[in-house]
Amino acid sequence: MDRAEIEEMFQSLGPVSIRRMFGGKGIYCDGRILAIELDGEILLKVDAQSAQHFDEVGARQWTYTRKDGRSAAMPYWSVPDEAWDDPDIMAKWVRLAFEAALRAG
């Protein structure tokens, strides 16, 4: 995704900053990371309090394979499919990501 598409996606939160990281982009609001973009996919920050909401709608948790072959789960989940077609629904999910970012400190 390009910068304009990312900014539009998160517009309900106000301005976001985008920085390169992990071969992708980190997306920040008020100095807190709330999402990452990897290989063209946006992954939203999730914590124990919000994970169930993402799981219930079929979102996927980001995992990767470590050098030792073990799988590692990260606190980022895919954007629920329903959000892509409705800015109000997208606003709900990015708000949950921002709240998780705030709780993370």
Residues 21-70 have pLDDT tens digits of: 878 999 999 999 999 999 999 999 999 999 999 999 999 999 999 999 99
Q: Domain residue spans in the chain?
A: 3-104
In this structure, the chain runs to a length of: 105
Question: Among the CATH numbers 2.30.42.10, 3.30.1460.30, 3.20.20.140, 3.10.20.30, which is that of 3-104?
Answer: 3.30.1460.30
Quick one: tokens of 26?
Answer: 């980190």
Cα angle, residue 49 at apex, residues 11 and 24 outer, rounded to 5°: 50
- The pLDDT assigned to 7 comes to 93
Q: Which residues pair with 38 in a beta bridge?
A: 41
* 93 contacts 79 by C-beta, under 8 angstroms: yes
Element (H, E) at 90: helix 87-104
